[in-house]
Amino acid sequence: MKGIVLAGGVGSRLSPITLSVSKQLLPVFDKPLIYYPISTLMLAGIREQLIITTPRDVDSFVRLLGDGSHLGMSFHYLIQEAPRGIADAFLIGRTFIGDSEVCLALGDNLLHGSGLGTQLSKLRNISGAHIFAYKVADPHNYGVVEFDEEFQAVSIEEKPFSPKSSYAIPGLYFYENEVLEVARSIRPSDRGELEITDVNSVYLAQKRLKVELLPRGTAWLDTGDAGNLLAAGMYVKIIEERQGYKIACLEEIAWRNKWINDDQLRQTVNRNGGNQYNAYIESLLN
């Protein structure tokens, strides 16, 4: 399975901060925002990842992440010239995906919870589409899934005025390879974008959409505006300081996945310089 992190867009809800920098490069406590979706894909066992970003920001992502070899991974980069919707990622990344299954993660979403990696790593040999649902207090700003009495998905709406349920769809989607053709078949919405909701609705109509609830102990944070970005940073700070481990430490995940060995992990210490993040990596080897 291959992974895509969609890190395009203009970040208008975070302006003026994002006038000069991608929102996915903004800090969430002690690391860039994009580390969090990348780490989610790593927890799912995905070593080959495509970063889709803007012409302005691509060089910054390359400087930050490199080719991924220091993590035992492979990072690729492609450009989305203008915001054309989430499903546009499958058109841009068509050659990268090839004949593989694919997982798409939104670059401004943070997922964290005990057992999340185990849950995600089981998603192989996807038949159709596999997405998640998460109960929220205010679902108006998300894709919303409606369930029947047997908790089977019956409808999906994008940012509905009157939501039919309180279950939002987080920005993490697993698909079979046929999603490439499904994405080509949909048409832009009234917003002029290729909506991921329309892709999922195709699978729902075919009865090949599986919707799995994220456990109550899982945190899903959308960092699209300044308040949510601050809240996400505070969440990470509290968890890390209280429990003594780091969330979304890419080097640690690669090491625990056995993608790199002790010596390779030690080499990343020099890459990161002298700071608390670096000291944490060193502590793993003691």
> What percent of the chain is modeled with pLDDT above 90?
74
Range of the domain at 278: 260-286
Q: Is residue 255 part of a domain?
A: no
Mark whether 112 and 170 lie in a shared domain. Answer: yes
pLDDT tens per residue across span 112-137 = 988 787 788 888 888 999 999 999 98
Per-residue pLDDT reduced to its tens digit, 128-181: 999 999 999 888 888 999 999 888 999 999 888 889 999 999 999 999 999 999
Model confidence pLDDT, tens digit, residues 7-55: 988 888 888 989 899 999 999 999 999 999 999 999 999 999 999 999 9
Question: Domains in the chain: how many in total?
Answer: 2
Statement to judge: residues 178 and 59 lie in one domain:
yes
In this structure, the answer to whether residues 181 and 273 fall within a common structural domain is no
Q: What DSSP letter does each residue of the chain carry, written as one string?
A: -EEEEE--S--GGGTTGGGSS-GGGSEETTEETTHHHHHHHHHTT--EEEEEE-TTTHHHHHHHHTTSGGGT-EEEEEE-SS---TTHHHHHTHHHHTTS-EEEEETTEEEE-TTHHHHHHT--S--SEEEEEEE-S-GGGSEEEEE-TTS-EEEEEES-SS-SSSEE--SEEEE-TTHHHHHHH----TTSS--HHHHHHHHHHTT-EEEEEPPTT-EEEE-SSHHHHHHHHHHHHHHHHHHS--TT-HHHHHHHTTSS-HHHHHHHHHHH-SSHHHHHHHHHT-
What pTM did the predictor assign? 0.95
